[in-house]
Amino acid sequence: MDSRTILVVDDEDAILVTLAEYLRGEGYDTVSASGAAEGKQAMEQHKIAAALVDIFMPDGSGLELLSRIKEKSPETEVIIMTSRASLDTAVEAIRKGAYAYLEKPFNNIDEVGIVLEKALEKRRLVLENRRLVEELTARNRELVMALGRKSSLIELGRALSCIHEIDKLLNYFIEVVVTQLKVNRASLMLIADDGQEMSIAASHGLDPEIVRTTRVRLGEGVAGTVAQTGKAILVRDVKNDPLTRESVRLAAASDSFISSPIVLSIPITLKDTTLGVINLTDKLSEEPFNEDDLDFLHGLAGQAAVAIDSARHIEELERSYSKVKEAQNQLVASERLNALGQMAAGVAHDFNNILSGILSHIEYLKMRGQGLQDPENVFGAELGMIETLTVQGAKTVQRIQEFAGLRKDRPETAVDINAVIRKTLDMTRPVWNGERSAKGAEIVVHTELGEIPATLGREFELVQLLSNLIFNAVEAMPTGGQLEVRSRLEDGRIALEVQDRGRGMSSEEKTRIFEPFFTTKRQGQGLGGSIVYGIVKRYGGELFVDSEPGRGTKVQVMLPVAAVSPESASENQPPPLLRRASGRILLVEDDEVNLESMRRNLRLLGYEVEAALSGAEALEMFKKEHSFDVVITDLSMPGFSGLQLARAIHGLDGETPIIMLSGFSVQVDPAETETCGIRHVLTKPCQIAEIQSAIESVRAH
């Protein structure tokens, strides 16, 4: 164990007592000396890890004592202390090998402890480095001695150094042993990770089934004894030796590996660790093994140990490299998707602005065309069709925003999970029924749908969630099998389960199944699991996975129950009817075309509208007069965003309701909008009836 003894040398008793008490409190052993002479005597009597030495003492210089300490024990770190600090003495102390130079009196004695700990850490590293160098030198010396025994070992070493795969390395090694020693049977056994038993890693002349099934516990027979003791065994009297007597008795009835006596067994040892053993039966010439054979095999075993250790390190490096490469690929893919998502977000915003303008002009034409003579309503029908297509385009843009990862809103539509299950099975049927049946890998789907209430969500997202789970289950059963989909009410929540009878997952796969880019498939981006996880978490649900290799997988999704029925919260409810209205509105939109069309439509409904093309302009207008009933602002505006404007207006007048209107509205955090005084958020494009409904809603509260 490394020394923890600290030598303190100072001619001031107060310093000695203070430092000694402090160091003992920190767990150190201390030796105190009141002068240079006592310090020299103390260092001769004790093994000193570090020394705190005063530089000026009546009976000698601390610098001289420093030199003496370094001469006797170079690894001992010395910290010079002085109350008369100067640049010259500091330079001289460092030049003589001092670790640090401290001024007295100490402002904080803990500083001494910190410097001392660092000095001891340096000493520990120096000693550790020395130990490693000595070990490396000894290992190299042993290897050189082994290679010098036989010139043939040099060629063997060259060959082994070129083989980095352990299986190939061990098979080549066994062939060299068989060729050089001319034996009937040979085996190389490696100790398992648990250190309790060995198995055959390479062999010659043994039945493959014996190689596959043989297990030898440490301490059992010749090989087990060698592995346990780390000492070679050369059996000279096979019939009478207790280690081989049982094998000889069985030899007449069996030709197995176990019944063939091992007469020479050598440990494969690296430093003090036994990796395995090399076993030989008899020579082809039927001559007994001699000491030269033993020495030669020892040389081979030494090279085998180094080669095995090197091969294992190389395999470990290759695994580490593969992990780094995989992480790099994931990072590249993530950056690619991130760039694509940003581009999609920008495109979605621009399209929403365009669709808003189109929808606004359509609604204007519809309102102005109500008085036209159009008995067959051709004009209104055509405008209605264009309006429907525009709204469908807006839904498509919303899906682009969802792909870009912009959604922060919580779903508010009640959805029937059983209807989702039936719809998803119909949609995925061509995959699990058509394609699989054609390949002779039939998937039988069994459903158990309980009576359950609705959950809050979006039907297409829940279909996407369930589709991913079904596709994963089908992939896990390449030869076919049974797929079970269940729903029920459990502990006040809706349980949705998908279970397969496929290959199952390891513990690592279970913990990583919902990570982005993690996949066990040959082809795939590894995004399905992360999509499932994201949807469930956004809905306030939980995910549970039960799986074992060879026993299939069950994924359970737990979702909260909706407080409303599916019919009462349909996403397809028609917009409210337009009504004549009144009120003063401040409208803010950075797109001039959209600004004018929205102002025109609102005025047709009877509102008095003041318009601003920027957040800064709108704020100035609001400061001049606070007599606006409602403020409607776009979210994304250059220089001064809608959120900044809302926050500023809310600070001036907390009573004026604010409506946020933007193509990025799904990106708005509800908590943030509430703090800014925003009472309603609308997604572009929205119909004028939705805007009017929002105006009436915020004015009523």
Quick: pLDDT tens for 590-623: 888 788 888 888 888 889 999 999 989 989 999 8
Rounded-to-integer distance, Cα 393 and Cα 146, Å = 79
**All residues at 6 or more sequence positions from 690 whose CB lies less than 8 Å from its CB, including other chains:** 575, 576, 682
pLDDT score, position 177: 82
Rounded-to-integer distance, Cα 309 and Cα 311, Å = 6
* DSSP code string of 132-194: HHHHHHHHHHHHHHHHHH-HHHHHHHHHHHT--SHHHHHHHHHHHHHHHHTBS-EEEEEE-TT
Region class of 550: left (phi > 0), else alpha (psi between -120 and 50), else beta? left
586 three-class SS: strand
Rounded-to-integer distance, Cα 636 and Cα 509, Å = 42
- The residue among 132, 120, 92 whose CA lies nearest residue 29 is 120
- The residue among 122, 123, 89, 120 whose CA lies nearest residue 104 is 89
pLDDT score, position 245: 52
pLDDT score, position 698: 87
Rounded-to-integer distance, Cα 453 and Cα 493, Å = 9
CA angle 433, 435, 438 (to 5 degrees): 95
pLDDT score, position 402: 52
Model confidence, pTM: 0.35
Read off the DSSP letter of residue 236: S
Contact (Cβ atoms closer than 8 angstroms) between residue 516 and residue 334: yes
Rounded-to-integer distance, Cα 135 and Cα 139, Å = 6
What Å distances lie between residue 492 and 293, 489, 600, CA to CA? 77, 6, 50
Rounded-to-integer distance, Cα 64 and Cα 49, Å = 18
- 220 class by beta-carbon count within 10 Å (0-12 exposed, 13-18 middle, 19+ buried): middle
How much of the chain, in percent, has pLDDT values that exceed 90?
9
Rounded-to-integer distance, Cα 123 and Cα 115, Å = 12
Q: Mean pLDDT in each 10-residue stretch from start to end of the chain (701 residues)?
A: 79 87 89 88 88 88 87 89 80 85 84 87 88 81 50 59 72 82 87 87 87 88 86 72 52 44 82 85 80 79 76 74 68 56 59 65 66 52 60 58 51 84 86 68 88 88 86 85 92 92 80 56 48 80 87 91 59 58 90 84 88 90 87 87 89 88 61 81 80 87 75
Rounded-to-integer distance, Cα 345 and Cα 686, Å = 18
Rounded-to-integer distance, Cα 577 and Cα 574, Å = 9
pLDDT score, position 351: 63
Contact (Cβ atoms closer than 8 angstroms) between residue 559 and residue 420: no
